[in-house]
Amino acid sequence: MATLAGQIKLETKLFLRGRQNVFLTLAFPVIMILIFGAVFSGENWSGTSAINYLLPGIIVMALMMASMNNNAIKIVNEREKGVYRRLSLTPLKRQTLLIGDIFVRYLVVLASTALLIAIGVNLFKAHVGGNYFLFWFVLTIGALTFVTLGFVLTTLVKNTNSMMTLGMAVLFPFMFLGGCFWPLDQIPTFLRPLCEALPALHLNNALRMIVMQGAGFNEVWHELPVMLGWLAVCSILAVKLFKWE
């Protein structure tokens, strides 16, 4: 445990030192909610204020950036520089390194979510209802799903530039087809089956139901199987295909 705590502390320091990483992970979603909140202030969407609808979507966008894209880029970059090869010569276990990395990314997701909610509530009068524990539970499943997907993406490329390109190629369809900014009924009919297969859509749906409708587990459980399916498949693929060198 002491080794793991030390690794988490080290990963946290490394994250905070990377200004570009901090900006993309924390500041960019804040800029997005400030822009959307200002532009759509006073408007109503789907029977609620626009900010109430957009807040869960921006949270999901921030979650995907932190747990999938930015983490995958970091892993590929360190692998490319031979960091993992050098660490393999130390007593540090690879499991400890991996768990520490995931834990720090999870903390970043929680911090980003809390920051976005604070801005939405205090600046734009967003209403966040529902069960906070259920909100956290669903958010955690989503974070783990996209972390494991990020690990799978790292197996498809060999360098950081390729990972950045691949990450954007995955992130943008997940954002725009996954319901971050508009409901499913505004997406062309022929694309809806694809949207239904994306974990982002079900994460967005579940969080919106909790925040906007105060839904309980009985109402949101049907959104979980797709996310859990992605989590299971990506976990298996990550274990089998993940490369340290």
CB 62 within 8 A of CB 113: yes
Total number of domains in the chain: 1
Q: Sorting pLDDT into bands at 50, 70 and 90, what band is 2?
A: low
CB 64 within 8 A of CB 54: no
Q: Sorting pLDDT into bands at 50, 70 and 90, what band is 195?
A: very high
- CA dihedral angle for residue 186, residue 191, residue 196, residue 202, rounded to 10 degrees: -40
Determine if residue 87 is left, alpha or beta; phi over 0 gives left, psi from -120 to 50 gives alpha, anything else beta: alpha
- Can you read off the two tokens belonging to residue 160? 């950081």
Chain segment 197-225, per-residue pLDDT in tens:
999 999 999 999 999 888 899 999 999 99
**Is it the case that residue 12 has pLDDT exceeding 90?**
no
Q: How crowded is the C-beta side of 65, counted as CA atoms within 13 Å?
A: 25
Chain segment 89-108, per-residue pLDDT in tens:
676 677 777 787 888 888 89
Task: Print the domain residue range for 36.
Answer: 2-241
| Amino acid in position 122 | N
Note the pLDDT of residue 46. 66
- Report CA-CA distances (Å) from 219 to 20, 194, 207, 228: 39, 23, 11, 17
- Report CA-CA distances (Å) from 162 to 18, 28, 77, 174, 209: 20, 22, 10, 19, 36
CA distance 11 to 19: 14
| Amino acid in position 235 | S
- Report CA-CA distances (Å) from 79 to 75, 118, 121, 151, 243: 6, 36, 40, 12, 8
Chain segment 127-174, per-residue pLDDT in tens:
888 899 999 999 999 999 999 999 899 989 888 889 999 999 999 999
